[in-house]
Amino acid sequence: MRVDAEQVYANWSTGLVRIVLLTGVTGALGSALLPLLAQQFPDHDIYCLIRATDAAAARGRLDAVIGGAAMAGDASRIHALQGDAALPGFGLADGVLDDLAARVEKIFHLAASVDFDLPLPESRAINVHSTAAVLAFARRCRLRGTAGFHISYVSTAYVAGDRNGLLKESDLRLGQGFWNGYEESKLEAEELVAAAAHELPVTVFRPSQVIGDSRTGAISKFFGFYEFVGLAVRGRSNILVADPDARPDMVPLDYVCRALLHLSARPDAAGATYHLAAGLANSLAVSEVVEAVLEVMARHKAGSEATARPRIIRADRLALDAAPDELARYEYSAQKLLLRTYGPYLAYERDFDVAATHALLAQAGIVIPPMREAIMVTADYALRSRVRRREAPHNKPSQLGETA
């Protein structure tokens, strides 16, 4: 894709207002971060790099995000920039890149593929190539000598791969294996960032498994945790293959956004890596997560038959502990397909080192909320959203409870 420069300049803001460049605005994290960026940078224009067939389509995708976030008051300074983060120069002409670089003060690079099922070459083409393109553009910006220039790169805590023990923020490639191309491609992208850290002021943020806003439950994309909620809604199986005692690290969307913005503004942020994770001490065991979700489901089924509580069986005990009819149903179930993707995240827990980051954030009043309540709030939001989608005309099936 090569973007027509005239289309870009047609939407160009006037004057010398500084720019915040955001990639990944249409994702779950990017769409939640946008309104907070508008608050934190009230004197900046915000340009959102969006892959689309033309400028009008890019603007349409952005308008959907702005409308969903109720940001009408800030809409005039939030701009759609048609381009592709995974292409060299974002697919933009050199002149456009130079004009953009002259005004960009902050870059927030969130664009990524979070599809765990993609083969490594395809994950790499998105996650690694986009990071390389952002770093190349950042070098253009740096040449302009803009005061306060900074890059925030959102990685994942799961660059740790299959390692055990305390997983430190300073760790990178330590001989670990990977469960999927997503993990490995994000590690490779981080290696690019680390190699550029001597010349560019860049901070790495590593969220764990992001769930909805802890206050409202809201999130724009349903995957991971929500897909298992969907299985429970459909009642397709009376067993769950997981370690009941493992504590998967889940972190609320609002915590991640607030933490990211606060830490990125620190004067010592350049060169730092932060785990945006709950930590084991704040995380619930799989069995506790199941109980919390079932409690929410019972509220939605008031007056009707309650959802059966599944037996939680470890994968290495499945053949021994499951009844023949349970094994038969599991063999051809959606759960088995899901576990090909998410099984490693339910089979054992990761001990992300969060002590230093939690201490820094606590000074600003940013703390992990009680996770049982947060999980219940976001499960409730997901179930209410499912009802709305089922009632909406001509609505396409979503990942939550509406696909086979």
Per-residue pLDDT tens digits for 19-58: 999 999 999 999 999 999 999 999 999 999 999 999 999 9
Percent above pLDDT 70 for the chain: 89
DSSP states along 35-83 = HHHHHH-TTSEEEEEE--SSHHHHHHHHHHHHHHTT-GGGGGGEEEEE-
Q: Note the pLDDT of residue 125.
A: 97
**Token pair 């219940």 is at which residue?**
376
Does residue 13 surpass a pLDDT of 70?
no
Q: Note the pLDDT of residue 373.
A: 98
Residues 6+ apart with CB under 8 A from 248: 209, 283, 286, 289, 345, 346, 349
Residue 240's Cβ-side half-sphere holds a number of Cα atoms within 13 Å equal to 24
Q: Note the pLDDT of residue 394.
A: 37
Per-residue pLDDT tens digits for 288-344: 999 999 999 988 875 455 667 889 999 999 999 999 988 988 888 888 888 888 999
Enter the DSSP assignment of 199. T
Q: Is 70 left (phi over 0), alpha (psi -120 to 50) or beta?
A: left
CATH code of 5-207, in short, is 3.40.50.720
Does residue 91 surpass a pLDDT of 90?
yes
Does residue 137 surpass a pLDDT of 70?
yes
| Contact (CB, 8 A) for 203 and 270 | yes
Domain range list for the chain: 5-207, 225-247+283-349+370-391
- Per-residue confidence band for 227, with pLDDT thresholds at 50, 70 and 90: confident
Q: Note the pLDDT of residue 70.
A: 63
**Rounded to an integer, what is the distance from CA 247 to the centroid of its chain?**
19
Q: Cα(369)–Cα(374) distance, rounded to whole angstroms?
A: 7
Quick one: which H or E segment has residue 257?
Answer: helix 253-264
The two tokens of residue 198 are 């001597």
Q: Note the pLDDT of residue 302.
A: 55
Per-residue pLDDT tens digits for 240-292: 999 999 999 999 999 999 999 999 999 999 999 999 999 999 999 999 999 99
